[in-house]
Amino acid sequence: MKLMYTIMIVGMLVLAGCVNAPVEEPSLMDEIEQIEQELESNDLVETPEEEFDVRTISVDENQELNLGVDIVDPDMDEVDYSFSAPLDSNGKWDTNYGDAGEYIVTITATDGVHTSTEDVNLVVNRVNVAPELSGVENIEAKEGDIIEFMPQAMDPNGDEVTMTVSAPLENGKFVSDHTSAGIYEIVVTATDGELTTTQTVSLIIEDVNVLPLIENVMDITVSEGETVTIEPVLSDLDNDELVLSINGPVGDDGVWETDFTDNGVYEITIRVDDGKDIVEKMITVTVEDINMAPEIVDIYLQ
């Protein structure tokens, strides 16, 4: 076919007198060669395929997607259709947090003889959700207890979470002592850099009384006529106000001036009250007898 077309062109050139004309350049063969090259070039030109726009459908994370399809068959044949992942066989998808992105879904329809396909671009928009806290509950303890607090934070979007806890549980552990009694407000905060979740709980530490101490007391031995002095040293770790009492014959002031008739052994109770508990300590006071010479106090006529 190409050769016949070339001969026809040469004939046209002869009829036009181009062959008889004395032309040095280009020659007839050069023109034929040029025409053949143009024909070959035309054969290589590809016809651009028709482009179709892909339909885009958008939903938000954690939203149910239910894709419907209308299909018409000119022959009224029964048509089966299907969806590619992530859609199920019914064209549904329950999106979740973390599914944000674009998905090309292919819908395939067939009447058993012919098959048609169409792509759909599913766009799942990111929806940021604040972090969720767990294990955040009120705490009750007593003085002297070791208190541990380990709340957990989870982000539905899978984002990195930064969590902070207020004092005295900022390190997850608190070793209480005799001064720790009270109610503490504990603030727990979790953030993903955009949204923040805050919860507040109470740490209640019950007072545990530390008994007062009575020191510097011991058994005492004196002779009749001497003074008994009791000087207890009192201390209280809780710094409670202390009330001292000493039973008789010594008395609360801790001083007893014995007489020559006081010989004997006495059990003395030293008691300290801090308002919560009472501590007692017993000591023995021994008063030894002193024999006194008779004394002539008067002389008179009978």
Same domain for 269 and 237, yes or no, is yes
Domain count, the chain: 4
Domain membership of residue 295 (yes or no) is no
Same domain for 113 and 142, yes or no, is no
pLDDT at 176 over 80: yes
Greatest CA span in the chain, whole angstroms? Answer: 205
pLDDT at 46 over 80: no
Domain membership of residue 300 (yes or no) is no
Domain membership of residue 102 (yes or no) is yes
Domain-terminating residue out of 190, 206, 222: 206
Same domain for 72 and 103, yes or no, is yes
* pLDDT at residue 132 in the model: 96
Same domain for 160 and 198, yes or no, is yes
Instruction: Report pLDDT digits (tens) over 16-28.
Output: 444 444 545 566 6
CATH of the domain at 172: 2.60.40.10
* pLDDT at residue 6 in the model: 43
Domain-terminating residue out of 184, 206, 228: 206
* pLDDT at residue 302 in the model: 79
pLDDT at 32 over 90: no
Q: How far apart are CA 99 and CA 129, in angstroms?
A: 13
Q: What percentage of the chain reaches a pLDDT higher than 90? A: 74
Same domain for 220 and 256, yes or no, is yes
Domain-terminating residue out of 98, 125, 152: 125
Token pair belonging to 207: 């007072």
Instruction: Report pLDDT digits (tens) over 215-232.
Output: 999 999 999 999 999 999
User: Any long-range contacts for 90-95 (C-beta under 8 Å, 24+ apart)?
Assistant: 90/66, 91/66, 91/67, 92/64, 92/65, 92/66, 92/67, 93/64, 93/65, 93/122, 94/64, 94/65, 95/59, 95/60, 95/61, 95/62, 95/63, 95/64, 95/65, 95/124
* pLDDT at residue 51 in the model: 53
pLDDT: is 287 or 35 the higher one?
Answer: 287
Burial class (CB in 10 A: 0-12, 13-18, 19+), 215: exposed
Instruction: Report pLDDT digits (tens) over 98-157.
Output: 899 999 999 999 999 999 999 999 999 999 999 999 999 999 999 999 999 999 999 998
Domain membership of residue 81 (yes or no) is yes
Domain membership of residue 260 (yes or no) is yes
Domain membership of residue 297 (yes or no) is no
Same domain for 119 and 59, yes or no, is yes
- What is the mean pLDDT of the segment spanning 17-42? 60
Domain coverage including residue 195:
132-206
Domain membership of residue 172 (yes or no) is yes
Same domain for 202 and 137, yes or no, is yes
DSSP 250: T
Domain membership of residue 293 (yes or no) is no
Same domain for 71 and 111, yes or no, is yes
Instruction: Report pLDDT digits (tens) over 230-278.
Output: 999 999 998 899 999 999 899 999 999 999 999 999 999 999 999 999 9
